[in-house]
Amino acid sequence: MEIMDGKELAKKIRTNLKEEVEILKSKGIYPKLAVIMVGNDKASAVYVKNKSKACNEVGVTYEEFLLKEDTTMDELLGLIQKLNQDTDIDGILLQSPIPKSLDIEEAFRTIDPKKDVDGFHPVNVGKLSLNQDCFVSCTPYGIIKMLETYHIPIEGVHAVIIGRSNIVGKPLIQCLLNKNATVTICHSKTENLEEVTKQADILIAAIGKPEFVTANMVKTGATVIDVGINRKEDGKLVGDVNFEEVSKKASYITPVPGGVGPMTVAMLMTNVVKAAKNRK
């Protein structure tokens, strides 16, 4: 069994990006990311801090827009439109969740697709499903990158995804299909879940339930990717996979923390640098 080290891989990606950014700067191109956060969600604050640290490391200029909990939809859309028109800004990221009173889908649709470094705009989602050049949402992009780096075959294998969110599950279907995998997606209404997951050569858990995937759900020798990040009552961080049990059966497995998480941020940086190149 090999543990897939997302932290180490993300570090290599950031190092390469730093060199690319140096070259861009020598040509007068200064990549810049704008991050919008509405309200004061504690987890979001941590994620935003990680993004600003990564920007700093890679050499991307970073600007943060912290909006109050009672921000109106008009105010939020006004800010997005202003950032769309700002020629210094290459990427715009709206940190989710946002307050329930606001429509996040409308906000995502308002972001210029050319600056949509999170890959959530319907134009980028559509292009991904047509296998055209686009911004791919960062977690699925990071998962594919990990599989490729560890030389895990994707073509022709059976990949099973547990979870159908717009952020991970759905775009990941397209990423895997574009690499010629056979893809099955499971969710809360799937019957005989265990029977389906046991067929997976690559099993991806993205449901937000701590240690939900147990050894009896996994085929011996499978590659297991854990997207979950959950805090238990004792404060310990765990994924959606019971690492202790499943690591005994899997041939490759991602840890939590230090697996998919760092890769998500690294792929965001990749998308920002790509946006800067495209724009210039």
Burial class (CB in 10 A: 0-12, 13-18, 19+), 214: middle
Same domain, 249 and 142: yes
pLDDT at 280: 73
pLDDT at 88: 97
Residue 125 lies in a domain: no
Token pair listed for 205? 């858990």
Q: Which residues of the chain have pLDDT under 50?
A: none
pLDDT at 279: 83
Residue 17 lies in a domain: no
Q: What is the CATH number of the domain that holds 238?
A: 3.40.50.720
pLDDT at 51: 96
Same domain, 222 and 173: yes
Nearest CA among 185, 254, 262, 261 for reference residue 229:
261
Single pTM value for the model = 0.96
pLDDT at 273: 98
| Per-residue pLDDT reduced to its tens digit, 155-211 | 999 999 999 999 999 999 999 999 999 999 999 999 999 999 999 999 999 999 999
Same domain, 189 and 87: no
pLDDT at 249: 98
- Domain count of the fold of the chain: 2
Tell me the catalytic residues: 51, 95, 118
Look up the domain containing 103 and give its range: 28-112
Residue 204 lies in a domain: yes
Q: Which residues contact 38 (CB under 8 A, 6 or more apart)?
A: 67, 68, 69, 71, 76, 94, 95, 98, 99, 102
